[in-house]
Amino acid sequence: MKHPCLKKVEFPYFIYSSLVKVGRIRFCHYRLPLLLLIVSTGSWLIQLPIGAIPTTTSTPVVPESPELSPQELSQLAQAITVKVFSGETSGSGIIMGRAGDIYTVVTNEHVLLPGYGKPYRIQTPDGRIYPAIVLKTAKFEGNDLGLLQFQSSSLNYRVASVANSAKLVEGDEVFAAGFPFATDSAYQELIPLTDSQKNLKWNQIFKHSNLPEFTPGLAKENQLSLNREADRVFVFNTGKVSLILSKALEGGYQIGYTNDIQKGMSGGPLLNRQGKVVGINGRHAYPLWGGSYLFQDGSLPEEELQEQIVELSWAVPVEAFMLQSGQFTSPTVPVNATPAPVRVERKLPSNQLPQGWLW
């Protein structure tokens, strides 16, 4: 016996072609609206060309900054990198913030240690030297970082941009910058010593620099001082990320790369291809003190990993700075701080060796 609510429904052939069953199908009238909806939708999809089918709209993805050319990267790096004078030694730093006419510079804590109790100075890219103060309230919880501030009321300096270092992968190209204490170019015209002419006290400077040994007595007159123009040469070089540690070494170092980091480049920027700071340089390969590297938790890397670590330069991820960046929102540099004369630096006697370099 037929159910009273069942009715015979006829469908055009083109609709049947989209159904599983071809022929006459009986449906209860209370299901007919649903069927009509399904059929009408199916027929609409069948009739529309593929390109006309609407898709779900999503939030547009913001494109990453374009990659810069090596020349553009070098110019940008030079604009944000400063030289930090700490007592009788020097290192590098990065202009990371500005509040009015107060600029904040990040560097390595080990760059600042030799200057404790002595005046700090910052040489900006235009050669001017400003008195600076260390922000002792900035605590980086075991990371080898420190902050300084200087004031410039009449000149504007570029502030660095940062990027997430977690996006780095092994093989990525990175760029390091800074002001080495002594460079190959600074001494390329000096005359190598014979064994009988060696000045051991002077050559102490070059003990670990992989340079020939020289004597000031055989150098040209304009190369005798440790404070030559050549010593202020800005260095920018290219390398690749070689190792990213899952946990940080002492000092917060996690990014290992092949760039040649020299003494004096500590505190300088490590940039990605977009010119964003992803790390702060701090350790060069084959450190002077030798021995073993330790993780921040006090554990020792396995021997095979140790061998990899010692061959690389190392940077503290920029996130270590960003996590504490709220600590210096209020400028603390005295209002009456004024720049020193352009390109005026305290000269070191030629027989006085720089003290206090850790790395």
Amino acid in the structure at residue 234? F
In a domain? residue 121: yes
Q: Which one of 65-74, 133-142, 197-206, 216-225 scores highest in mean pLDDT?
A: 65-74
Q: How far apart are CA 350 and CA 254, in angstroms?
A: 37
In a domain? residue 42: yes
pLDDT at 3: 52
In a domain? residue 195: no
Write down the mean pLDDT value for the chain.
72
In a domain? residue 170: yes
Kindly state whether residues 36 and 94 are assigned to the same domain: no
In a domain? residue 204: no
Least confident segment among 37-41, 67-71, 83-87, 351-355 = 351-355
Kindly state whether residues 237 and 282 are assigned to the same domain: yes
Which pair of structure tokens corresponds to residue 152?
Answer: 């410039």
Q: Domain total for the chain? A: 2
**What is the residue range of 36's domain?**
6-46
Kindly state whether residues 41 and 136 are assigned to the same domain: no
Kindly state whether residues 178 and 294 are assigned to the same domain: yes
Q: How far apart are CA 216 and CA 231, in angstroms?
A: 15
Q: Are 317 and 255 in contact (CB under 8 A)?
A: yes
Question: Which long-range CB contacts under 8 A does 2-8 form with residues at least 24 apart?
Answer: 3/28, 5/29, 5/30, 7/32
Answer with the residue of higher pLDDT: 351 or 247: 247
Q: How far apart are CA 8 and CA 4, in angstroms?
A: 11
In a domain? residue 209: no
Kindly state whether residues 20 and 166 are assigned to the same domain: no
In a domain? residue 199: no
pLDDT(75) > 60? yes
Express each pLDDT in 180-191 by its tens digit. Answer: 985 443 333 333
pLDDT at 326: 60
In a domain? residue 54: no
Q: How far apart are CA 263 and CA 183, in angstroms?
A: 9
Q: How far apart are CA 347 and CA 115, in angstroms?
A: 16
Kindly state whether residues 134 and 231 are assigned to the same domain: yes
Express each pLDDT in 10-27 by its tens digit. Answer: 544 444 444 444 444 444
Kindly state whether residues 29 and 129 are assigned to the same domain: no
Give mean pLDDT, residues 158-174: 97
Specify the DSSP class assigned to residue 227: T
User: Which CATH number is 163's domain given?
Assistant: 2.40.10.120
Kindly state whether residues 285 and 324 are assigned to the same domain: yes
Give mean pLDDT, residues 49-78: 67
Least confident segment among 70-79, 226-235, 236-245 = 226-235
Q: How confident is the model at residue 138 (pLDDT cuts 50, 70, 90)?
A: confident
Instruction: Indicate the pTM of the whole model.
Output: 0.65
Kindly state whether residues 42 and 157 are assigned to the same domain: no
Least confident segment among 234-238, 293-297, 320-324, 325-329 = 325-329
Answer with the residue of higher pLDDT: 82 or 339: 82
Kindly state whether residues 129 and 167 are assigned to the same domain: yes
Kindly state whether residues 16 and 142 are assigned to the same domain: no
Kindly state whether residues 252 and 107 are assigned to the same domain: yes
